[in-house]
A and B are shown apart, each in its own frame.
Chain A
Amino acid sequence: MKKIVVFVLGPDRTGIIAAVSKTLFDQGCNLEDVSQTILQTEFVGIFIASMADEGNEDEVLSALRARIGSLGLFVHLRPVEELPAAGGQTGEPFVITTVGADRPGLMAGVTEVLARYGANITSLKAVSRGEENQHDYVMIFEADIPSAVNLSAFRSALCGRAEELGLDISLQHREIFEELNRV
C-alpha cells in the first residue's frame, strides 16, 4: 500500500467532502486522516488516503478534477513519503495568547519570535473578541517549545515584541488549561 495526500481549496459550499470522498472511494482509496477548515467564505480540506501499490495517482487526480473542478475548487495531489520517526528534539506544549487592537503585522511580528526560538506552532486561531470588546483581536497559538530553549529568554523576547505591537501577551504551559477546563 502507498499513501497519497489530496488538498482541496476553494469557495465553501455544501457537498465538497461528499464529492471528494466518493471519488476517492470509487478510485479504490481508503481515507485515513481528514481535516477541513473554513475561514469566512473559503474552504480548505486535506485528505490522506492509502491506495494499492499498483494504483495510478494521475488517474485519481483526473477523477477528482473531473468531479469537483466544476465547483470552482482547486485540487492538488501528491504521494506521501513515509518519514522516519522524529527523534532528537523534544518539546513541551505551551499556549501563547495575545489580546490587543487589530492592525497589520501582528501575526508576522509574533510568529517571527516563535520561529527564531524554534517553537513549532501546532494550532493557531485568531478571533475577534465579540460584542463587549469589538476592537480586541485575540490570537491563540499552541506551540511546542523545545526543551533546550531558555524559557525566560523566550518570554522576554515575546513580551518585548508584544510591547512594540501594543499587545497584551501571555505564555502558559498547556496543562493549566486542561486542568481548569476538563475533568
Chain B
Amino acid sequence: MLTEREIIATLDMLRNENLDVRTVTLGVSLFDCASDDAGRFIDHVRAKISRLAANFVDVCDEVGLRYGIPVVNKRISVSPIAVAACAASPEEMVAIAAALDDLARGLRIDFIGGFGALVEKGFTRGDRALIESLPEALAKTGRVCSSINVATTRAGINMDAVSLMGRTIKRAAELTADRDGLGCAKLVVFANIPQDVPFMAGAYLGVGEPDAVINIGVSGPGVVKKAIDRARAANPGLDLGQLSEIIKRTAFKVTRVGELIGRQVAKKLDIPFGVADLSLAPTPNVGDSVGEIFQSLGLKSIGNPGSTAVLAMLNDAVKKGGIFASSHVGGLSGAFIPVSEDLNIAEAARKGHLSLEKLEAMTSVCSVGLDMVALPGDTSAATISGIIADEMAIGVINSKATAARLIPVPGKKAGERASFGGLLGEATIMNAPDDGGSDGFISLGGRIPAPVQSFKN
C-alpha cells in the first residue's frame, strides 16, 4: 500500500513543480539508407523514419497519460548526415534537410537532430558539403537541428573547422536576418559530443549506436528549485552539504520518472531503451529556470561571484542522484545554462549581472557550454571563432562535452533584445569584445594537438 504522503508529494511535484519528461528522443540510424544518389537516399530515409516513428508521438502521449506525467517533447535524432550522405553536394544536402523537415512536420515531431558532421581531425567531402549547406538548410527549415563536433580530448581542436564555423554562423544569421538570426539557434558547435544526446540542438545518433533506440531527457529545474525552497523553509539552518543531498534525492526522483516513461515507450515501440540524460533543461517559463536555483541557494543572481561553485555543486548532485536512479546514463547529463531559454538567466544578462566572460567560466563546470548566447550582429566571424575556440579548449582539457550556440543577431547591438520564439525564448544581446584582436590567431588554422591526460594541475 502506498502512503498518503508519497502520493501527495508526487502530485505536488506534478502540479506545482513542472515535473515532466522533457524529451523522448527516437534515434534512427541512417547508414543503411546510404546511396550515391541523393534522391534515393531521401526515399530510403523517408521510408525508414516513417516506419519506425509512425506511432511514436501517439505512444509517448499514451504512456504519458497512463502515468499522469507529460512528455513535453518528442524528437528524432539521426546518424550524422555528413557521414550517411557523404556523397551529396551542398545543394543535395539542402534537399536532404528539407526532406527531414517535412518528415518531422508530418510525424508531429518538434525537432529532428543529426544534420551534422564530426570533423575534429579533418573534413571529408560530405563534411564540407554539409557545412557549406548549413546556412541555407537552416534558413529553409524549421525543425532541423545541426551539431558539428570540431574537437575531442583525443584529437585536439580542429582550428580550420573552428574558423569555418565562425563564418558559417555569420552566414546562417544573415540568411535568417528577418528572424533575429534564428538559423544559428538550431546550430551548435561541440567538443567531445556524446553519441546519445537526446536534447536539441545537439541530438544525433552516433556511429556506435544501434539501428534504433529510445533516449530520454529528464525533467527540468523547477522540481529541484521547489525542493530546495521547501527544505530551507522547513529548516533554515541547512548548509550546502545538506542542500546538495536534497538536490541529489530530487534528481533521483525525476530520473526514475524519466526512465520509467522511456522504458515503457521503448517497450511499446519494440525498440531498445538507450540512456537517460540527467540534464536540468530550463524552458522560458516561470518556475522552470536553472537561474532561479542559484537564488534559492543564496545568490542574488546567477553571475554573482559564487556562481561557478553553485553550478559545480548542482551539476554534481544531479549526476549523483540520477546515476543511482538509472541503469544507463548518457547524453550531456548536467545543468544547462542557455541564456535565452531561461527567463532568469536572460534577466541576469539584461541587468548586467552575467557577462559573457562569467558565463564562459561557468561552462567549465556545467554540461553544455555557451548556449543560446545572443551577440551583436556586427561581431566578426573571427571573434565568433575565437569564442568557440575558448569554449572547445575548456571541453578538451577537462575531458567533457562543451558546446557553443552563438547567435550574432543581424542589425542589433549589445543591450537590444532578440526573440527566437517558442522554446528558444528571447534574450538581451551580450557584449562581446570585438576589436579584431582574434583575427591573427584564427587565421593560423591547423590543429591544436590533443592534450596530455596526466600531470593534472
Chain A residues near B (Cβ < 8 Å): 95, 97, 99, 123, 125, 127, 129, 138, 140, 142, 151-152, 155, 170-181
Q: Are A179 and B7 within 8 A (Cβ)?
A: no
Q: Which residues of B contact A95 (CB under 8 A)?
A: 2, 7
Q: Are A140 and B4 within 8 A (Cβ)?
A: yes
Residue in B2, B6, B11 whose beta carbon sits within 8 Å of that of A170 in the complex: B11
User: Which residue, of B1, B8, B9, B259, has the highest number of chain A Cβ atoms within 10 A?
Assistant: B8
25 contacts between A and B (CB under 8 A): A95-B7, A97-B11, A123-B2, A125-B4, A138-B4, A142-B1, A151-B65, A155-B65, A170-B68, A172-B68, A173-B67, A174-B2, A176-B10, A176-B67, A176-B68, A176-B69, A177-B10, A178-B2, A179-B259, A179-B260, A180-B10, A180-B253, A181-B2, A181-B6, A181-B253
Q: Nearest Cβ in chain B — how far from A21, in angstroms?
A: 23
Q: Within the assembled complex, what's the spacing in Å between the Cα atoms of A175 and B4?
A: 15
Q: Nearest Cβ in chain B — how far from A9, in angstroms?
A: 22
Does B66 make an interface contact (CB < 8 A)? yes
Q: Are A123 and B1 within 8 A (Cβ)?
A: yes
Q: Which residues of B contact A125 (CB under 8 A)?
A: 4
For chain B, which range describes its interface: under 10, 10 to 19, 20 to 34, or 35 or more residues? 20 to 34
User: Can you list, as one digit per residue, whether each of B1-38 has a CB less than 8 Å from chain A (1) or not (0)?
Assistant: 11010111111011000000000000000000000000
Q: Nearest Cβ in chain A — how far from B36, in angstroms?
A: 48
Q: Are B6 and A171 within 8 A (Cβ)?
A: no
Does B143 make an interface contact (CB < 8 A)? no
Not counting A125-B4, A173-B67, a sample of 10 additional A-B residue pairs whose C-beta atoms are within 8 angstroms of each other reads A127-B4, A138-B4, A138-B8, A140-B2, A170-B68, A172-B67, A176-B260, A177-B10, A180-B6, A181-B6
Q: Within the assembled complex, what's the spacing in Å between the Cα atoms of A172 and B67?
A: 5
Q: Nearest Cβ in chain A — how far from B218, in angstroms?
A: 12
Chain B residues near A (Cβ < 8 Å): 1-2, 4, 6-11, 13-14, 65-69, 253, 256-257, 259-260
Once A176-B260, A180-B257 are accepted as A-B contacts, the answer to whether A140 and B68 lie under 8 Å apart by CB is no
Q: Within the assembled complex, what's the spacing in Å between the Cα atoms of A107 and B256?
A: 32
Q: Within the assembled complex, what's the spacing in Å between the Cα atoms of A148 and B6?
A: 29
Closest chain A residue to B1 by CB distance? A123
Closest chain B residue to A138 by CB distance? B8
Q: Within the assembled complex, what's the spacing in Å between the Cα atoms of A172 and B2?
A: 13
Q: Nearest Cβ in chain B — how far from A109, in angstroms?
A: 20
For the complex of A and B, list the 4 residue pairs with the smallest distance between their C-beta atoms, beginning with the closest.
A172-B68, A181-B6, A176-B67, A179-B256
Q: Are A142 and B10 within 8 A (Cβ)?
A: no
Q: Are A176 and B6 within 8 A (Cβ)?
A: no
Closest chain B residue to A95 by CB distance? B7
Q: Nearest Cβ in chain A — how far from B69, in angstroms?
A: 7
Q: Within the assembled complex, what's the spacing in Å between the Cα atoms of A172 and B256?
A: 15
Q: Within the assembled complex, what's the spacing in Å between the Cα atoms of A54 and B9?
A: 52
User: Which residue, of B2, B8, B14, B257, has the highest number of chain A Cβ atoms within 10 A?
Assistant: B2
Q: Nearest Cβ in chain A — how far from B55, in angstroms?
A: 16
Q: Are A140 and B67 within 8 A (Cβ)?
A: no
Closest chain B residue to A170 by CB distance? B68
Q: Which residues of A contact B67 (CB under 8 A)?
A: 172-173, 175-176
Q: Within the assembled complex, what's the spacing in Å between the Cα atoms of A97 and B68?
A: 11
Once A97-B7, A151-B66, A170-B11 are accepted as A-B contacts, the answer to whether A179 and B257 lie under 8 Å apart by CB is yes
Q: Which residues of B contact A181 (CB under 8 A)?
A: 2, 6, 9-10, 253
Closest chain A residue to B261 by CB distance? A176
Closest chain B residue to A152 by CB distance? B65
User: Which residue, of B67, B256, B257, has the highest number of chain A Cβ atoms within 10 A?
Assistant: B67
Closest chain B residue to A127 by CB distance? B4
Closest chain A residue to B11 by CB distance? A97
Q: Within the assembled complex, what's the spacing in Å between the Cα atoms of A182 and B14?
A: 17
Q: Nearest Cβ in chain B — how far from A171, in angstroms?
A: 7
